[in-house]
DNA sequence: GTCATTTTATACCAAATCGCATAAAAACAT
DNA sequence: ATGTTTTTATGCGATTTGGTATAAAATGAC
């Protein structure tokens, strides 16, 4: 056991809660348009404290993104558990994602779409780290969908087919996050998503 | 006929060519991360000239976006003409869009995805004009796909079905533009797109 | 209590930002 | 030529940017 004795002046803020607030600011305004002053105002901290806890602006953003990714995948995984069969589980996941994108969860307070899809593309072309982060997010979703299909599949689909279907579903969800950001309501999005799931993973 | 006599000092630059260059800068860096100095350097003009010709930064961006939208739709329409049947035409359109997204056309010099999908989402939540522009881009694509399906359809699909299919295809293409921006190569994207088209518009 | 350590708060800095004021330059009208 | 009009070029200027230096404050160690 490492000693966890706190030396020096104690922090006035909770790191996770602060990172949640940071996430919200980036989620709304994107990366470039967010200033450290905005973040300071929203978190109640001042810039030196922010820098001490999370490093540079980019480092802060990437940490918020990781946190978003983890929380989103927990959220979707839980939703997937609540139904049966590939078709049903995928619809539940789509529904949960759309709730997230349209501001109907505790994680998302407003219809800001997907943090990654809404903010990373504008940075990806000028910053390899941002591009890598985008690629990682996309691949993580691909892998998650593939493993669900693989698990629920009655050996009907070959592995390449599984991968292809998973990518198709990711495509659809990314497109849906764009539409959520453009103002489309949750019900319309769910109709779209369900019909996409039905055509890709028909009920057996 | 209004007299088109040019009064005053003649311009040293071509407006369309300059707008093309402006478009490239926004395409690569997004809206917020692009500075007027960058644009000035890239176009060879100085800021007052830019302002005189195109107005504010946002006005410049929206004009570049309109130009992109028009040129893209010409590009896709031409591609659609080159094939027969709903399935074939849609595949040709997808292929042309992917060429555009991956920097394989004269319009796009690099694999920067779609100007609209790569840059607008990050601005949409804080600026209603940007959100409206994003919505307009999405709807324009929906309408284009719907009219193609409607035209090629042998009265098999009802109008709501046509709209739904069109939106599905838009979803797919938006997702593909995200992947293009994340670095996926053109061939992989085309495989994805073709298989999506086959499942949504099967050959009769 | 005194020292070491860590966080906070204020203030600063150099660079970059958008927009515009001002004046020179280049054309046409008369 | 002289004046009018439009574009160019230089440069200002107030604001904002990300990051940090400095010092005060708050804790534990001894």
Query: Residue A35: enclosing H or E segment and its boundaries?
Result: none
Q: How far is CA A95 from the centre of its chain?
A: 14
Instruction: Identify the structural domains of chain B with CATH numbers, from first to last.
Output: 66-200 (1.10.357)
Q: What percent of chain A has pLDDT over 70?
A: 97
Amino acid A84: pLDDT? 94
Q: How far is CA B155 from the centre of its chain?
A: 30
Rounded average pLDDT over A160-176: 97
**pLDDT at residue A117 is higher than 90:** yes
Give residue-wise pLDDT tens across range A75-91.
Answer: 999 999 999 999 999 99
pLDDT-derived band of residue A5, with 50, 70 and 90 as boundaries? low
Angle at B122 between CA B138 and CA B17, to 5 degrees: 70
Residue B9 CA and nucleotide C29 C1' are separated, in Å, by: 14
Looking at the complex, does the CB of residue A61 fall below 8 Å from at least one CB of chain B? Answer: no
Q: In this predicted model, which residue has the larger pLDDT, A6 or A182?
A: A182
**pLDDT at residue A182 is higher than 90:** yes
- In 3D, which of B91, B103, B105, B112 has the Cα closest to residue B178? B112
Mind telling me how many Å the CA of A127 is from chain B's nearest CA?
Answer: 9
Residue A195, C-beta contacts closer than 8 angstroms, at least 6 positions apart: B164, B168
Looking at the complex, does the CB of residue A156 fall below 8 Å from at least one CB of chain B? Answer: no
Alpha carbons B194 and B85: distance in angstroms, whole number: 14
Q: Which nucleotides of C are covered by protein (CB under 7 A)?
A: 4-11, 16-22, 24-29
Mean pLDDT of chain A: 95
A48 close to A36: Cβ distance less than 8 angstroms:
no
Residue A141, C-beta contacts closer than 8 angstroms, at least 6 positions apart: A170, A173
Q: Helices (DSSP H) in chain A: which residue ranges?
A: 15-29, 36-43, 47-54, 57-81, 85-101, 115-124, 128-152, 159-182, 186-200
Can you spell out the DSSP letters for B3-50? --PPPSSPPSS-HHHHHHHHHHHHHHH-STT--HHHHHHHHS--HHHH
B53 close to B39: Cβ distance less than 8 angstroms:
no
Distance of CA B11 to CAs A78, B18, B91, Å? 62, 12, 43
Query: Residue A5: enclosing H or E segment and its boundaries?
Result: none
Alpha carbons B168 and B151: distance in angstroms, whole number: 17
Phi, psi of A140 (to 5 degrees): -65, -40
Rounded average pLDDT over A131-138: 98
Looking at the complex, does the CB of residue B182 fall below 8 Å from at least one CB of chain A? Answer: yes
Amino acid B27: pLDDT? 98
Can you spell out the DSSP letters for B151-169? HH--S-S-HHHHHHHHHHH
A110 close to A25: Cβ distance less than 8 angstroms:
no
Give residue-wise pLDDT tens across range B121-178.
Answer: 999 999 999 999 999 999 999 999 999 999 998 768 999 999 999 999 999 999 999 9
Q: How high is the ipTM of this complex?
A: 0.93
Work out the number of other CB atoms within 10 angstroms of the CB of residue B144.
Answer: 18
Q: In this predicted model, which residue has the larger pLDDT, A204 or B87?
A: B87
A176 close to A195: Cβ distance less than 8 angstroms:
no
Mind telling me how many Å the CA of A133 is from chain B's nearest CA?
Answer: 9
Rounded average pLDDT over A30-53: 96
Rounded average pLDDT over A153-179: 93
Going residue by residue through chain B (204 aa), what tens digit of pLDDT does each one get? 334 567 888 898 999 999 999 999 999 999 999 999 999 999 999 999 999 999 999 999 999 999 999 999 999 999 999 999 999 999 999 999 999 999 999 999 899 999 999 999 999 999 999 999 999 999 999 999 999 999 998 768 999 999 999 999 999 999 999 999 999 999 999 999 999 999 999 997
């Amino acid at each position: 056991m490492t000693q966890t004795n706190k030396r020096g002046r104690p922090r006035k803020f909770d790191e996770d809660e602060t990172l949640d607030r940071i996430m919200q600011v980036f989620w709304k305004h994107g990366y470039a348009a967010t200033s450290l002053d905005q973040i300071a105002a929203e978190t109640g901290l001042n810039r030196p404290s922010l820098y001490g806890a999370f490093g540079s602006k980019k480092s802060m953003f990437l940490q918020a993104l990781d946190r978003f990714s983890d929380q989103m995948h927990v959220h979707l995984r839980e939703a997937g558990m609540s139904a049966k069969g590939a078709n049903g589980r995928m619809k539940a996941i789509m529904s949960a994602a759309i709730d997230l994108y349209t501001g109907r969860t505790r994680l998302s307070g407003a219809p800001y779409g997907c943090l990654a899809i809404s903010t990373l593309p504008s940075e990806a072309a000028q910053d390899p780290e941002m591009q890598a982060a985008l690629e990682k997010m996309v691949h993580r979703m691909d892998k998650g969908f593939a493993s669900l299909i693989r698990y629920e599949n009655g050996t009907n689909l070959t592995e390449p087919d599984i991968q292809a279907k998973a990518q198709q579903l990711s495509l659809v969800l990314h497109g849906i996050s764009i539409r959520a950001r453009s103002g489309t309501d949750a019900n319309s999005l769910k109709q779209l998503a369900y019909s996409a799931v039905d055509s890709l993973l028909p009920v057996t």
